[in-house]
Amino acid sequence: MKDKKFDTKAVHFSTIRESAVASKVQPIYQTTAYSFKDLDDIEEYFRGNKPYLYSRVDNPNNDDLAAGVARLEEAPSGAATSSGLSAILCAVLAVAQNGDHIVACDDLYGGTYHLFASELKTFGIDVTFVSFADQQSIQEAIRPNTKILYSESITNPLLRVEDITGMVELAKKNNIVSMIDNTFATPYLIQPYVQGVNVVIHSATKYIAGHSDVTAGIIAGDQNIIAKAKEKMANLGCNLGPFDAWLAARGLKTLSVRMERQVKNAASLAQVLTEHQAVKKVYYPQSANEKGNGAIVTAELSEKADIEAFFQNLSWIKIVATLAGVETSVSYPLRTSHRSMPAELIKKLGITKHVVRISVGIEDIEDITYAFTNALDHSL
């Protein structure tokens, strides 16, 4: 049978389970537990002959979502968790333990940086942050106890496109597991697993779900690692609720059409911002994929621009601490996503008080560009 193309797989990933009611869409299994006929029937679960016991461990809706994203990533296995950060934590703990070491890119999302720099220390895991723009720096940071190379396919918020091929080569050379957060790109633009990455992670809160109404995470990749990650998820209480999983799976079906519009709008907005006198620099990838370069635009306003006036004049554009919904929004990394990063690292990366991160939505591009040019005009 001919394999389906990406857009078709995004819509038809769900496996409808046999039921007395022939539902067109996957039902919501809003239950904490599953019942058994007798004690022998319970033993069948532990022998691997029955799929579900307790929703903290697994649920059909979670499986449906995880399998759908894994399929789009062309990975053999997936797991759904309660958030992007819990997905990162479970993936890391599936590979690294007390006494191990991780090498991570230094231009990470601030929440990931904090997890790695602070929380992993309580597990006895050490992390070294280096520029992944320089392969020699990565190689020099690797130790005998290094277990993971970690990066983002498109970094947050300065939108550097990772050299995934080079990263994979280094990981294989040193017998290290490679992990990529693919949230910004989504499998619509980049499929890291196809390029040899062992584990791909998503904050499904963002483009996978797509409508700013659910918090979820996804891990996809090598089957043995995903199996261990699912154990961590269950034991640490990082499971995703069935209704949230159902919402995210519903959102996944429109990933292609949303990304197509959002990527097109972002490219247009980036060009407009480049030409505005209130903007010093625009960060927007130029080499992500032939389909486009993502739906995030980061801009550094000029020193003469009043950042407060810019935010006060955004009209219908929402100011939020997250991204990727169908509505265009703006965040301020210095005071939200990256405020816990060390000041010296923020300065080194160039995340100044004039940097704003724009998540471009599906609205009419003329309305989007007018809203931003108007706010920029008022900032001068």
Looking at residue 161, its pLDDT comes to: 96
**Listed residues 224, 252, 280: the one ending a domain:** 252
Pairing label, strands 77-81, 146-152: unpaired
Please identify which residue in the block is written with the tokens 């154990």.
231
CA dihedral 281, 285, 286, 291 (to 10 degrees): -140
Question: Which residue range forms the structural domain that includes residue 261?
Answer: 255-379
Residues 171 and 51 in one domain: yes
Residues 167 and 64 in one domain: yes
**Is there a contact between 278 and 301 (Cβ–Cβ < 8 Å)?**
yes
C-alpha distances out from residue 93 to 45, 217, 222, 226, 267, Å: 25, 15, 14, 11, 37
> What is the residue-wise DSSP string for 307-366?
HHHHHHT-TTPEE-S---SSS-EEE-TTTTTTTTS-HHHHHHHT--TTEEEEE--SS-HH
Q: Which two tokens stand for residue 197?
A: 């990455």
* Dist. CA 250–CA 26, nearest whole Å: 9
- pLDDT 10s digit of each residue in the chain, 380 long? 567 889 888 888 876 565 667 778 888 999 999 999 999 999 999 999 999 999 999 999 999 999 999 999 999 999 999 999 999 999 999 999 999 999 999 999 999 999 999 999 999 999 999 999 999 999 999 999 999 999 999 999 999 999 999 999 999 999 999 999 999 999 999 999 999 999 999 999 999 999 999 999 999 999 999 999 999 999 999 999 999 999 999 999 999 999 999 999 999 999 999 999 999 999 999 877 889 999 999 999 999 999 999 999 999 999 999 999 999 999 998 877 777 778 888 788 888 899 999 999 999 999 999 999 999 999 99
Q: How many domains does the chain have?
A: 2
> What is the residue-wise DSSP string for 163-224?
-HHHHHHHHHHTT-EEEEE-TTTHHHH--TTTTT-SEEEEETTTTTT-SSS---EEEEE-HH
Residues 235 and 337 in one domain: no
CA dihedral 116, 121, 126, 132 (to 10 degrees): 10
Which sequence positions are flagged as catalytic?
56, 109, 181, 206
**Listed residues 252, 284, 308: the one ending a domain:** 252
**Listed residues 252, 274, 299: the one ending a domain:** 252
**Is there a contact between 169 and 157 (Cβ–Cβ < 8 Å)?**
no
Q: How far is CA 251 from the centre of its chain?
A: 15
Residues 248 and 342 in one domain: no
Measured between its terminal Cα atoms, the distance across the chain in Å is 60
Residues 230 and 83 in one domain: yes
Residues 246 and 260 in one domain: no
Quickly count: other Cβ atoms within 10 Å of residue 168's Cβ: 18
Pairing label, strands 126-130, 146-152: unpaired
Residue 223 lies in a domain: yes
In angstroms and rounded to an integer, the radius of gyration of the C-alpha atoms of the chain is 21
Looking at residue 99, its pLDDT comes to: 98
Residues 241 and 318 in one domain: no
Coil, strand or helix: which one is 37? Answer: coil
Q: Which two tokens stand for residue 238?
A: 């990082």
Residue 160 carries which DSSP code? P
Here the CATH number for the domain that contains residue 177 is 3.40.640.10
Residues 169 and 309 in one domain: no
Give the CB-side neighbour count of residue 132, counting CA atoms within 13 A.
29
**Is there a contact between 69 and 6 (Cβ–Cβ < 8 Å)?**
no
* Dist. CA 358–CA 253, nearest whole Å: 24
Q: Which two tokens stand for residue 53?
A: 């016991």
Give the CB-side neighbour count of residue 304, counting CA atoms within 13 A.
8
Residue 1 lies in a domain: no
Here the CATH number for the domain that contains residue 259 is 3.90.1150.10
Residues 208 and 273 in one domain: no
